[in-house]
Structures are given as C-alpha cells and as structure tokens.
Amino acid sequence: MKKSILIAILGGFISTQVSANTWQALPTTAPAPADNPTTAAKVELGKMLYMDPRLSSTGTVSCNSCHNVMEGGDDSRAVSMGVKGQTGGRSAPTVWNAAFYSVQFWDGRANLLEDQAKGPITNPIEMGMKDHDQAMGVIKSIPGYKAPFEKAFGKDSVNIVNAAKAIAAFERTLITPNSAYDRFVKGDKKALNKQQQKGMNKFAELGCNSCHSGAAFNGPKMETGTGFFQKFPTFANNSFVEKYKLTDDKGRAEVTGKKEDTNMFRVPTLRNISDTAPYFHNGSVATLDEAVRIMAKAQLNRDLSAQDTKDIVAFLGALGGEYPEITMPRLPASKGSTVIAD
C-alpha cells in the first residue's frame, strides 16, 4: 500500500498522537553551523549584502528583490524576475524561518543557508554575475565595505565564503515566533478561536501533519543535508493537476537525474502562509483556500467541504507570527565612479 494512502486512512489515528509529538512552538533562535556562529557584526554585514542590488550584474536585483523582508519574505509573484526582466520557473519561497530547513531551494540542491546564498548571484536569470570573483570584485571596489567585513571576519576577509556566511547569519535572525498557534500550544487555550481549533483538528484528522509537522510545519527535524521531500502531486488524476500544471516541473529529479525523484519537492513551511501568496512551486494558485482544496485532493485524494476548507484556512492564519522590526541599512557608496558595467 502506498504511504500516502496509508496516511489518509490513518488520519484519525494520527490526530490522536499529534498533541505530544507534532504541535510544537517555534523556537526564538535558529541553530547555526559550528564554522559560522551568529554574531551582531555578521548579521549587520549580512543585512547590507542582502539588500545591495550591486551584487547583480545590472545593479537592479538584490536578495531582497525576490525575498522581501519588508513583507512576507517573498515577492508576491508567481515566478520571480531577475536581471534584464528575465523570469525563472519557480516561485520564490519565503525567507522567513528558512533557517529551520535542513536543505534549501525547492529541490534541495543546497544544504545550508551559506550554500544557498551563493547560488542566485551567479545564476544568469537571477542576479547574473559571471562568477563569484566578479561579484566580490564589485564589493572590494566599494571602500565602505572594508570595515564591516573586518569587524565581522578580520583583515583581508572580503571573499565569497565570508559574504555568504554573513548573509546566512542575517537570515538566521528572520524568525516569526509567538503566533496565536504558538501561544495555544504553550497553554493559552484562548489564543485560538473555535473555528481555528476546528481547523487544527481537521488538519490533523486528514493527515496534513504527516508532512507539515514540526515547529515550522515543514516536516520532521532532519540532519543537515538530508531534506524532507514529498511527491507532489501524489494523486495526479484530478482536474487541479492539469489546470495548474502541477507536474510540469520535475522537481528534485532535475538535480539528481533519478526517475524516482520526479515531482519530489522539499516540503515548504506553513508559517505565515497567509502572507505568501501565490502558492506552490510554480506560483500557479492565487488564493489560500484554493491551495488547501488542491492539497487535500492531490495529496490525500480527499474532497473538502466548503466549511472544512474555511476552518483549515482559519487555522493556517493562526500560524502567522510576529515579524521582528527590520531597519534598512545604509549601504556604502561607490566613490567617484560606477561599479555597474554597461
């Protein structure tokens, strides 16, 4: 029997087990690798680099362009726009709470945030630099970056490894705790209203938390580099799959070349899900209620009633946490000449 079918059948059993094992509050700090402990100096430098469009070949695209921390951590587009108006094939996932993933990107092709931070810079569609040396040449040519790098990493430290470490350190501060859900599981039984509690129970009854489990609702805690992936869609014989082109992207198979990885994707977090429309890897679904109906049908082969859909959407809304205040950094100016090539 397929695992997904078994999960659906056991939905009621799963719901009796989740209170102790699955309903977890979000931590207020994120784990960091041993070779990159989080420091205030790294975070401040990382924020500068994260916001600086001069890390792109045209001087128009920063990390924040696609993962906007002044809102839901994405860009509200189906697919993101990079240099020269080019667009990719996948929706930008939110950067909020990304520190709680064991792998990065939809297809898990990077293990750590440090690895992820390097990728877009040299992607020809995203930030378009020829290589990392070109990117760091731009940073080295801006005098005001020398002091922040030295404060964070010491002398002669302006290089791509340290730039990625700084960006990752900043991203590890992007945590949204203390949602209504968090307060509820910590004992405040008034934190969720009746509809949200109904939605929480239905979420468990259906078996949604077989994939969207843990504190970040992105699956069980895994060793770094061992991502939690799920086939999507699992049940492809329905109108949603064709309408939203859900099988066109081969997912992890595009990285591994393995047939068994076709349509396998990293399970995304549901934290702040109300703030990150449009939905799914291709950004094809505009509303959360439609996304809920699709997940029920495509993953569990269940048709939700209108009321169940509303209840689950209400519960998902309770996963929106508190965004920390972020002030925009003052970026160092290039002196006397442009750093952007024609």
Cβ neighbours around 165 below 10 Å, total? 27
CA separation for the pair 99, 29 (Å, rounded): 9
Q: Are 188 and 170 in contact (CB under 8 A)?
A: no
Cβ neighbours around 335 below 10 Å, total? 10
CA separation for the pair 295, 234 (Å, rounded): 10
Residue 129 token pair: 């630099």
Instruction: Identify the sign of the CA torsion 284, 290, 292, 294.
Output: negative
Length of the chain (residues): 342
Residue 204 token pair: 């468990």
Residue 255 token pair: 């990285």
Catalytic, 150? Answer: no
- How many Å is the Cα radius of gyration of the chain? 21
CA separation for the pair 144, 142 (Å, rounded): 6
DSSP string of 31-45, one letter each residue: ---TTS---HHHHHH
Q: Are 198 and 317 in contact (CB under 8 A)?
A: no
DSSP 8-state assignment for residue 274 = G
H or E element: which one contains 21? helix 11-21
* Residue indicated by tokens 């082109």: 245
H or E element: which one contains 230? strand 229-231
Number of H helices, E strands in the chain: 14, 2
Q: Are 320 and 275 in contact (CB under 8 A)?
A: yes
CA separation for the pair 330, 334 (Å, rounded): 13
Give the active site residue among 126, 150, 205, 322: 126
* Enzyme catalytic residues: 126
